[in-house]
Amino acid sequence: MTKSKRPCPNCANVEMTRVPRRGFLQERVYSKLGLYPWECPFCRETFLLKSRGRSYRRSGPDPEGHK
């Protein structure tokens, strides 16, 4: 789960979650503009931010040996 430090514009909650892109605009147009969809888990408001959020990728060697 990825979280944002920006507050929800609807309820001011700071625990937002990135959600998958849906539809033509989000997949084709907003992606070119660097906008990412976010959702507030409390009020369920969905909105776009320039922030991708923190990445939770593992660091270190892959246990299966992939590079």
Q: Specify the pLDDT at position 62.
A: 54
For the entire predicted model, the pTM comes to: 0.65
* Strand spans (E) along the chain: 3-4, 16-18, 36-39, 46-49
Please report the pLDDT score of residue 9 as a whole number: 85
Residues 6 or more apart from 58 whose CB is under 8 A from it?
none
Nearest Cα to 20, choosing from 45, 43, 46, 41?
A: 46
Residues in the chain, pLDDT under 70: 1-4, 53-67
